Structure 1
Amino acid sequence: MKKIDSIPTNKMGRVAKLVTTGVKVGGNYLKYYGEKAVNPNLTKDKLHENNASDIYDGLKELKGSALKVAQMLSMEKNLLPQSYVEKFSLSQFSVPPLSAPLVRKTFKTYFKKYPEEIFEEFSVDSINAASIGQVHRAKIKDKQLAVKIQYPGIRESISTDIALVKPIAVRMFNLQGTSDEYFQEVEDKLTEETDYKLELQQSEGVRKACAVIENLKFPTYYPEYSSDKIITMDWMNGVHLSEFCKSEVTQEKRDKVGQTLWNFYMFQIHKLKKFHADPHPGNFLVDKEANLIAIDFGCMKEIPDSFYTPYFEVSTPASLTNNVYFKEKLVELEILKPTDSTKETEFFTQMFHELLTVFTEPIHKKEFDFSDPIFFGKIASLSEKFANDKQLRKMNGNRGSKHFIYVNRTFFGLYNLMFDIKAKIKINDFEKYLA
């Protein structure tokens, strides 16, 4: 795999890369429409495949928050053509790594020493490379270690990347009025992910708090071998969750992993009110005994009670059958606004009632089979319906509390992981850990 010797960090450099990518995508469309004129039956499959490759190739060289966007989109299986999902999924744990000289330079800059001066053994070739940093294997005495090194200039480029994405997102999602708090929420979380001292603290906090959960493992972290740009932890043996999902394993093991993953998230959300908000396969391993290993806590989301309470009240069966109460909760969640017209109020009430009726189906049952294609078919149908809704496009899409961004992303990502695992679980099993 090609290695990267430098990353564009200034605004002009990153804009130039995005412009180059845009030119390639434009060329793909010209080629498609030229071929379409000759062959009216031509589908967009090849166009999607070419665009996905060109966009991903551009983002992977930028790394940081630009690549994080691709990572987040890869979890939205029902919102993107399959070619985009497949290509963007590579950003979860497989992108071109930094070259050995840049690794040593980065280590020297942030740790004031070269890696071989600290570790008895250190592999200059990374094991995994992703959006914010890459992982190297190291050893001290009998400890097998994983050393994550942050890419240079990532934190400094976040504001630039958000500024580039903002006007596109405002236009795509019709975010009329102020949407600054949404983008600030994303920028704050991305900035937190570049603070490895904070990640170390969060990792240790989650590890201790979740020690009661069966079949769940965490690495131990080493502050003495960590800094604000480097974090060192135990090397954990296992396969990425995506590899586990594709392998030939028993249903018993699938259910065990799925139940552990579900309990882990429900415990964090309902007990800690602070949770791991980056549910993608690259953040989880599975060992030979089908234990789940959580390895990345850079992105954590805290839920204030003012949001937690109405968020879970609005989706109860009682709420869904009481229109007055349901609307009250939508107001509390900032989905319905005092300035809404009667038409807007009724439209968004109906829309969110339809969404919540489907989306909360699993939590209203004692057991749920996440391999059920009918359930995920309903989600896909709703996604397609609202993506093509001309009336929705005319409405102000600036809806809901900023807390929806990461809470909904987490639930949607969790559902997708559970579907990939094909697990049948007990929904309320996590409650035994709440006492």
Structure 2
Amino acid sequence: MFGIKLPQKQNLKRYNALFMVLTKYGFEDIMANSQARKFIPKKYLLKHPDTEKRLSGSTFQRIRMVLEELGPSYVKMGQIMSNRDDMLPPDLVKELEKLQDHAPTLQNFEVEKVLSQELNINCPQYFLSIDPKPLAAASLAQVHKAQLLNGDWVALKIQRPNIAEVIASDISIMKEVAEALEKYSAQVKAFQPAKLVESFEKSVNEELSFHREMDNMEHFARNFMDNNDIYVPKLYRELSNDHIICMEWIDGIKVSELEKLKAKNIDSSAVAKVGVDLYLEQVLEHGFFHADPHPGNLFVLPEVQKICFIDFGMMGTIMPKDKEALIDLLLCFLKKDVRKLIPVLKKIAIRSEIPDEKKLEYDLYELVEGISNTSIRNIKLGITLKQFKNVLYENKITIPHYLYILIRALVIIEGVGLKLDPEFNITDNLEPYMAKITRKRFGLKRLFKKNLNRFQDYNALLDKLPDDINEIVDKIKDGKLVIVHEHKGLDEFRKTLKTAFNRLVYAVIIAALSIGSALLVMADMPPKVSGIPVLGAIGFGLSAIIGLVILISIYRSKKD
């Protein structure tokens, strides 16, 4: 009624909590400009009239504090949105990044009870020990260390109780509030809250599916089966389900712990090179890459001299055709070829509404020229990719979601490399891959395979051609062949033709009236007025009126 969408009964408590926290941190101004104000508890507003004045933090700091206080769903949303610097202002992204390590541990969490219920097992028959104290806590799950009966140490990643239901309820509220805020607040609309919620929903649903994460883990392991530089943790499927993952415990050193690496006599610059090589292999060769390669997800294993990736909840996938286009894009950038860059960009984009192609060409030329004037040793990929995203945004080019994930991941991996080695430059790792890919493209094996595929396509076409021709001939014989032909501007032509015919009809009527009236006058046919036949006079009068109407119509049409 009256266009107001009331919250569902089960969401009322979450609405109440949401608006109390928003009001507490001084967002009464936003709430007042939306229909959401109807749900703010009046008692709270009366008790806290000067909330905003008492808060000294910036708007973006308060947004981060609101998300922290609202709980796991909102913390997770903040974490995911911290990756969307294509949609959010840099200062807000900086604040949201602080949420990456923030997650409260569950109080009075009975690990053994949860395992028994979820896996339908008797824990002592499988585990020697389970640490009740979590070693790490995230917004969706927390990790406990345990030891199996065979002596293996494992990590148990356990979803927070009822987290899927809580997130579903919170997303429902987020959508309603986002729609209301977009409608009533121009300030908030600029952040595209509805799109942010949509992006969050997709990402969080992927992370909530532990079966998917386990599949990702096994897929990743298969891709690196023959690589001696990488280690993938063992997965215990029999002790896992959609809410629990049991995997090998990784006793390694985080790549960010430089002092520990130094104490083990590990060359950090070599770690940087190998780690980035492994990542580029994921992207450019496998088309299946870790979407969140931050230092907490990358370990060095001193005993086996390998690098280990963990947490496979967020992965990026590149289709073979997209991988070809992505490689073309990178090659164009490295060769600084603007002429070829634009068609490749159009090919890779999911939507392009370029208002001015010349401007796009100029913007890309300026970007590439900036790279050209910089020594390849001094090119910072993170800065270049950020400038590239700005060019896309300004020229209304929408690239696939995987590419945004990849851009962010490459920026992160470059940052990891720079931390390990201040002299690190990712282009040193990229160039050998590009050279290798170029050789492969012009190699006899690839050319043969490509031509073989084309030959198979042509052969399939020739096989189907007689049947297709017979089908067309049969349709012609049966009179069922329909040809649809569209004329652009035909409506306008019809309108003009109709006007011309109408005028021609009027002209014929005028001519007929004039001739008939003249005959009546010449026949001196009664009745008469002042010696003039009345019918003849009426005929001439009607001819004059119709003629005047046509003249006025012609004059107006010329004026238009």
TM-score by length of 1: 0.71
Report the equivalent of 2:317.
Answer: 302
In structure 2, what is the equivalent of residue 3 of structure 1? none
Superposition pairs for residues 53-202 of structure 1, below 5 Å? 54-58=65-69, 60-62=71-73, 65-66=76-77, 68-69=79-80, 72=83, 79-80=90-91, 84=95, 87-91=98-102, 95-101=103-109, 103-104=111-112, 106-113=114-121, 115-116=123-124, 118-141=126-149, 142-158=151-167, 164=174, 171-173=189-191, 187-202=201-216
Q: Does 1:406 align with 2:415?
A: no
Tell me, yes or no, if the aligned pair for 1:52 and 1:83 is still in contact at 8 Å. no
1:213 and 1:260 in contact (8 A); partners too: no
1:249 Cα offset (Å): 6.8
Provide the C-alpha distance between the structure 2 equivalents of 1:317 and 1:333, rounded to a whole number of angstroms. Answer: 13
Q: Per-residue CA shift, 1:301-359, capped at 9, x if unaligned?
A: 2111332222231232478754443221222122762x5432xx444555556567779
Residue number among 329, 348, 355 corresponding to 1:314 in the alignment: 329
Relative distance call for 1:380 and 1:271 in structure 2 (3 A) is closer
Contact 1:334–1:400 under 8 Å retained in 2: yes
Match of 2:345 in 1: 330
**Percent same amino acid at aligned positions?**
20
Distance 1:120 1:378, change over 3 A: closer
Instruction: Pick the structure with greater CA Rg.
Output: 2
Q: Is the 8 A contact 1:307 1:403 kept in 2?
A: no
Instruction: Provide the C-alpha distance between the structure 2 equivalents of 1:359 and 1:78, rounded to a whole number of angstroms.
Output: 25
Please state how far the C-alpha of 1:215 moved relative to its aligned partner: 3.3
Alpha-carbon distance in 1 for matches of 2:315, 2:321: 18
Q: Comparing both chains, which one has the higher relative contact order based on Cα–Cα distances under 8 Å and sequence gaps of 6 or more?
A: 1
| Separation in structure 1 between the aligned mates of residue 408 and residue 361 of structure 2, nearest angstrom | 21
Cα drift, residue 222 of structure 1: 0.7
Aligned residues: 395
Could you say which residue in structure 2 is the equivalent of 1:293? Answer: 308
- The answer for unaligned runs of 5 or more in structure 2 is 1-9, 30-48, 183-187, 441-560
Q: Given residue 22 of structure 2, which amino acid in structure 1 is its aligned partner?
A: G
The aligned counterpart of 2:380 is 375
| Runs of 5+ consecutive residues of structure 1 not aligned to the other structure | 1-9, 37-43
- What is the TM-score with the length of structure 2 in the denominator? 0.57
Q: 1:144–1:54: structure 2 CA closer, same or farther, 3 Å change rule?
A: same
2:207–2:213 CA contact under 8 A, matched in 1: yes
Aligned ranges for residues 276-291 of structure 1 at < 5 Å? 276-288=290-302, 291=306
Distance 1:117 1:99, change over 3 A: farther
Contact 2:288 2:315 survives alignment (8 Å): yes
Three-state SS of the structure 1 residue aligned to 2:299 is strand
Which residue of the partner structure matches residue 443 of structure 2? Answer: none
Q: What RMSD in Å do the two structures reach over aligned CA positions?
A: 4.7
What CA distance in whole angstroms lies between the structure 2 residues aligned with 1:301 and 1:199?
12
